[in-house]
């Protein structure tokens, strides 16, 4: 259990939070920290290979201006590209939560190639450092 691992649980499936999570993954990887990403629920759903590039909406408080800004942001650099960049520059792994896979009827073949594998939650905690950031 490396002390400085940045553990990131992605739960939310909106483009604003996925982008925020991706920026954090890049930032932590750039600082030389291992990054341990775990996909649950609606974030996992967004990592289906055929859904990555659809419009996933934003938090309700964004308003129309905020929603448009995020759509433009995704058109420039999509969050999936940022996760791929993070994997290129550092020790970054992305694993799907086994329970959420079953919940949503998703099989490993459905997932984007950036996803490395499927983990149970106990395995995630084995690899996590002290804290886990939940988005």
Q: Which of 36, 37, 47, 70 binds a second copy (CB under 8 A)?
A: 70
Residue 24 CB contacts under 8 Å (≥ 6 apart), including other chains? 6, 8, 133
Nearest distance from residue 113's CB to a second copy, in Å? 23
* Sites for a second copy among residues 74-93 (CB under 8 A): none
Site for a second copy in 34-53 (CB under 8 A): 40-42, 45
Exposure b/e, 24-61, CB count within 10 A at least 16 = b = bbbebbeeebbbbbbbbbbbbbbbeeeebeeebebeee
Measured from the CB atom, the residue of 27 and 117 that comes closer to a second copy is: 27
Residue 125 beta carbon to a second copy: minimum distance, rounded to whole angstroms: 5
62, 70 contact by CB (below 8 A): yes
13 binds a second copy (CB under 8 A): yes
- When asked if residue 130 is in the footprint of a second copy (CB under 8 A), the reply is yes
Distances in whole angstroms, Cα of residue 31 to Cα of each of 5, 25, 27, 84: 11, 10, 6, 16
The binding site for a second copy (CB under 8 A) comprises: 3-4, 6-7, 9, 11-14, 16-17, 20, 23-24, 26-28, 30-31, 33, 40-42, 45, 56-57, 59-62, 66, 69-70, 73, 99, 103-105, 120-122, 124-126, 129-135
């Amino acid at each position: 259990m490396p002390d400085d691992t940045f553990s990131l649980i992605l739960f939310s499936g909106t483009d604003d939070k996925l982008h925020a999570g991706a920026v954090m993954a890049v930032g932590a990887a750039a600082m030389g920290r291992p990054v341990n990403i775990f996909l649950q629920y609606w974030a996992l759903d967004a990592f289906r290979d055929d859904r990555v590039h659809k419009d996933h909406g934003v938090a309700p408080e964004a308003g129309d201006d905020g929603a448009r800004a995020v759509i433009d942001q995704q058109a420039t650099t999509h969050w999936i590209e940022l996760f791929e960049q993070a994997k290129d520059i550092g020790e970054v792994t992305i694993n799907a939560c086994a329970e959420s896979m079953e919940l949503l009827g998703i099989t490993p073949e459905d997932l984007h190639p950036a996803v490395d594998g499927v983990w149970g939650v106990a395995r995630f905690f084995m690899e996590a450092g002290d804290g886990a950031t939940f988005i």
